[in-house]
């Protein structure tokens, strides 16, 4: 990494930030220099558009970030072993937590990877201005910044069209982005469509419940005048179907409509950034065509309706050449109704009434923060922040499909308790950065971070086997019951980063980040001991959400080096990333979904407009598993990938092969393969818990993009 120039610690739009051999020149997310971050630019995103349809998979190359397998476009990111709700994910400033008891519609699924301008990942020690209600880190996704015509010029018309095809699963799709602007006003439209059949593993076997169809549309209207930018955005997502190999349900519909207003104003004293958003989600699940329940038993519809609303206002003051202060206030609300319509009038456990899982459940959070960023000298910089969040939760009374005791007893016990919860949490972040000389930098940070329980963790109530089986966003095939008495998680995160680089030609760099987290009241699970939690005999379990103290530690390493350069044969270079994380409960046992040691090593070649990459990925055997969830072990593996790309004027072509040798392997965070099991039959020796989800076999891909 090249040494950063000595300048105020808050970057401006004209700055060029060099990160992990990535140059951000335009649509950049402005974050304090002293925060440990990684950024993915629009160019990098474009190079992967033919390779993936899942926005979360754009993060795979960042050390310390791993993915929990889910549907074909809905992987769940994990940072330093902390996953899902423990990570704050902003998509154009909006917070859209999963509105599904199986987390089939996470935040990153609401923006297609073809409509992204920049992604920023802040790991562990996160500035309070970008934190709140999270303990693992922050992921910020932004669509492309509006571009306006130059003063005195005619209309600017620009856009792009792309298409892709992948052989494994016969996946294909395309997108279009078009905009028209003058000096002051811009109108944009983006649309995308992608779909895939079930993929095949390295043995050629079809992995059932892995197909999907995904459609996204968005429009934007932007105004640029007198140092002010105002943006109006609206969009729609329509997912007619998506399968989940590690879930007992399929998504049979997910429709979202959102509106987003953003204002950024620059004044003599600093800047004011504000945003207001509203999103409405309609989500449906049922047994899919690949699952046995759809063929031999009654289907089980499950519906969720959600409304997300929020705002954020932040002021930034540049007091002098040394001091910069941010302060702000934000509000985020989520309202959920989760109900399962009855399917028969006289059956034992699925009628005649609707099963009410969450009844008008609400979660409101108000956060206020202040942050001081200072340059003490040409060598020393610091960041100090304080944040207060108040979270209010409530839910109405519930009932089962009928009044049989296995529903009525749990419902009555739940309804007799107070559902209203209030949590007050305080976050603190402190970082110090030293530029020791022209070839090294060091950073030490501490953060106290908090997260209040989610609606599903708190308010899911039934211990009856069939209902419990339908709850679980972990991909492990187990059934879950919520807990009204959960405490908020409090994490103490410490990280140290040492960075060394070539001070002259930027020919090499290495960045090493060891970290440690101690989490009070980590929200995990225990064996369910409620009345109707009869434990299965086939390796699955019925569990109840519960607090336990935990600790996590690990290390991230990233490096790059220029190997050889010649005008005739081109430039050869290499880059690599390595990660390791270990997590344990303080009362004994391992934490769930800890990614084993993994290493990516790439050989890169560039000659004029031609780029080539050959990649080796090594993942160690997963042996440290969580016994209480009956987590499956997976063997180690090495996967080889290769791709090439060529840019000719405004046309780019990408061709490649993933899993070049058609290796049969199992992703450590893939969970339990139940995509072809009987949907509601957890307690049966016919369906044992002994199959990890197989990963993708060999897949060739090709993509074409035309820009104008």
Q: What is the DSSP pairing of strand 228-242 with strand 250-267?
A: antiparallel
Bridge partner list, 510: 500, 559
pLDDT at 381: 96
Q: Sorting pLDDT into bands at 50, 70 and 90, what band is 435?
A: very high
Please say if the pLDDT value at position 295 is more than 90.
Answer: no
pLDDT confidence of residue 32: 63
Domain of residue 382, CATH code: 2.40.170.20
Specify if 24 maps to a domain: no
- Mean pLDDT of all residues belonging to the chain: 92
The predicted-structure confidence for 464-475, as pLDDT tens digits, reads as follows: 988 999 999 999
| pLDDT tens-digit series, residues 18-46 | 333 333 333 445 556 666 678 887 778 88
Residues 143 and 233: their CA atoms lie apart, in Å, by 10
What range does the domain containing 252 cover?
A: 139-707
pLDDT bin (cut points 50, 70, 90) of residue 294 is: low
How crowded is residue 375: how many other Cβ atoms within 10 Å of its Cβ?
22
Question: How far apart, in whole angstroms, are the C-alpha atoms of residue 28 and residue 144?
Answer: 9
Report the pLDDT averaged over residues 312-325.
93
Per-residue pLDDT, averaged over 491-511, amounts to 94
CB 305 within 8 A of CB 329: no
**Does a structural domain hold residue 36?**
no
Domain count, the chain: 1
**122 domain residue, yes or no:** no
Q: Tell which residue, 688, 696, 691, 627, has the closest CA to residue 246.
A: 691
Tell me: pLDDT of 261 over 70.
yes
Residue 608 belongs to some domain of the structure: yes
SS (H, E, C) 553-572: EEEEEEEEEEEEEECCCEEE
Report the share of the chain in percent with pLDDT over 90: 82
- Predicted confidence band of residue 288 (pLDDT cuts 50, 70, 90): confident
Query: CA torsion, points 672, 678, 682, 684, in degrees to nearest 10?
Result: -110
Helix (H), strand (E), coil (C) string for 440-461: EEEEEEEEEEEECCCHHHHHCC
Is residue 363, in this structure, part of any structural domain at all? Answer: yes
Q: Is the pLDDT of residue 350 over 60?
A: yes
Question: Does the pLDDT value for residue 56 go beyond 90?
Answer: yes
Here the tokens at position 134 are 């999270």
Predicted pLDDT of residue 34: 66
pLDDT at residue number 348: 75
Residue 280, beta-bridge partner list? 257, 307
Q: 552 falls in which pLDDT band (50, 70, 90)? A: very high
- Provide the pLDDT for residue 31: 58
Question: Is 534 inside a domain boundary?
Answer: yes
Query: With 50 as the cut, is the pLDDT of residue 387 above it?
Result: yes
10 φ, ψ to 5°? Answer: -100, 125
Residue range 404-410: mean pLDDT, rounded:
94
Q: Show the tokens assigned to 361.
A: 């459940």
Residues 6+ apart with CB under 8 A from 43: none
Reported as a single tens digit per residue, the pLDDT across 217-247 is: 999 999 999 999 999 999 999 999 999 999 9
Q: Is residue 14 pLDDT above 50, yes or no?
A: no
In the DSSP assignment, the letter for residue 108 is: G
Does the predicted model carry a pTM greater than 0.75?
A: yes
pLDDT at 478 over 80: yes
Q: Give yes or no for a contact between 328 and 313, defined as CB atoms under 8 angstroms apart.
A: yes
The percent of residues above 70 in pLDDT, for the chain, comes to 94
Mean pLDDT in residue range 555-577 = 95
Cα dihedral 519, 523, 529, 532 in deg (nearest 10): 180
Helix or strand (DSSP H, E) at 160: strand 156-166
Give the three-state DSSP class for 692.
Answer: strand
Domain-located, residue 29: no
The answer as to whether 79 is a domain residue is no
16 — pLDDT class (breaks 50, 70, 90): very low
């Amino acid at each position: 990494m090249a040494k950063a120039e000595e300048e105020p610690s808050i970057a401006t739009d004209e700055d060029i930030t060099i990160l992990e051999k990535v140059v951000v020149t335009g649509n950049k997310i402005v974050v304090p220099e002293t925060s440990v971050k990684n950024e993915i630019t629009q160019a990098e995103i474009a190079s992967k558009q033919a390779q993936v349809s899942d926005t979360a998979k754009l993060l795979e190359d960042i050390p310390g970030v791993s993915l929990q397998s889910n549907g074909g476009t809905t992987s769940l990111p994990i940072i330093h072993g902390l996953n899902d709700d423990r990570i704050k994910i902003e998509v154009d400033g909006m917070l859209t937590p999963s509105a599904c008891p199986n987390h089939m519609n996470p935040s990153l699924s609401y923006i297609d990877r073809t409509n992204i301008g920049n992604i920023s990942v802040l790991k562990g020690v996160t500035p309070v201005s970008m934190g709140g209600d999270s303990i693992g880190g922050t992921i910020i996704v932004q669509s492309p910044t509006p571009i306006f015509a130059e003063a005195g010029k005619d209309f600017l018309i620009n856009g792009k069209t792309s298409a892709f095809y992948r052989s494994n699963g016969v996946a294909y799709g395309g997108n279009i982005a078009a905009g028209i602007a003058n000096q002051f006003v811009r109108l944009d439209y983006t649309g995308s469509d992608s779909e895939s059949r079930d993929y095949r593993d390295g043995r050629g076997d079809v992995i059932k419940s892995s197909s999907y169809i995904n459609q996204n549309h968005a429009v934007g209207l932007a105004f640029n005048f007198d140092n002010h930018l105002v943006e109006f955005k609206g969009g729609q997502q329509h997912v007619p179907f998506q399968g989940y190999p590690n879930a007992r349900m399929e998504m049979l519909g997910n429709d979202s409509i959102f509106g987003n207003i953003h204002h950024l104003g620059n004044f003599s004293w600093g800047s004011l950034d504000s945003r207001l958003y509203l999103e409405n989600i309609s989500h449906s699940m049922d047994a899919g065509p690949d699952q046995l329940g759809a063929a031999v038993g009654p289907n089980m519809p499950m519906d969720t309706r959600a409304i997300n609303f929020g705002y954020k206002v932040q002021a930034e003051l540049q007091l002098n050449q040394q001091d910069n202060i941010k302060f702000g206030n934000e509000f985020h609300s989520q309202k959920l109704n989760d109900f399962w319509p009855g399917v028969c009038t006289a059956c034992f456990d699925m009628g005649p009434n609707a099963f009410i899982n969450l009844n008008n459940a609400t979660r409101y959070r108000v956060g206020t923060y202040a942050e001081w960023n200072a340059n003490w000298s040409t060598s020393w910089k610091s960041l100090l922040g304080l944040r207060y969040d108040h979270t209010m939760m409530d839910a109405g009374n519930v009932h089962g499909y009928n009044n049989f005791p296995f529903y009525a007893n749990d419902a009555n016990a739940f309804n007799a308790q107070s559902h209203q919860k209030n949590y007050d949490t305080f976050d603190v972040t402190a970082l110090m950065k030293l530029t020791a000389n022209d070839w090294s930098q060091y950073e030490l940070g501490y953060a106290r971070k908090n997260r209040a329980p989610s609606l599903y963790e708190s308010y899911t109530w039934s211990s009856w086997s069939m209902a419990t089986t339908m709850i679980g966003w972990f991909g492990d095939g187990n059934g879950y019951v919520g807990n009204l008495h959960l405490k908020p998680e409090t994490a103490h995160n410490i990280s140290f980063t040492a960075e060394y680089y070539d001070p002259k030609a930027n020919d090499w760099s290495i960045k090493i980040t060891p970290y440690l987290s101690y989490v009070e009241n980590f929200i995990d699970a225990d064996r369910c001991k409620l009345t109707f939690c009869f434990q299965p005999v086939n390796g699955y379990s019925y569990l109840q959400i519960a607090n336990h103290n935990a600790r996590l530690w690990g290390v991230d390493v990233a490096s790059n080096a220029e190997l050889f350069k010649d005008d005739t044969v081109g430039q050869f270079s290499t880059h690599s990333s390595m990660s390791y994380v270990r997590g344990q409960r303080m009362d004994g046992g391992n934490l769930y979904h800890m990614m084993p040691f993994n290493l990516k090593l790439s050989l890169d070649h560039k000659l004029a407009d031609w780029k080539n990459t050959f990649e080796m990925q090594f993942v160690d055997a997963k042996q440290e598993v969580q016994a209480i969830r009956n987590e499956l072990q997976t063997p180690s593996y090495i996967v080889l990938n290769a791709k090439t790309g060529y840019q000719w004027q405004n046309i780019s072509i990408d061709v490649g092969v993933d899993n070049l040798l058609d290796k049969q392997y199992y992703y450590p965070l893939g969970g339990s393969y139940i995509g072809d099991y009987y949907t509601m039959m957890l307690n049966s020796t016919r369906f044992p818990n002994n199959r990890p989800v197989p990963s993708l076999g060999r897949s060739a891909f090709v993509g074409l993009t035309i820009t104008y």
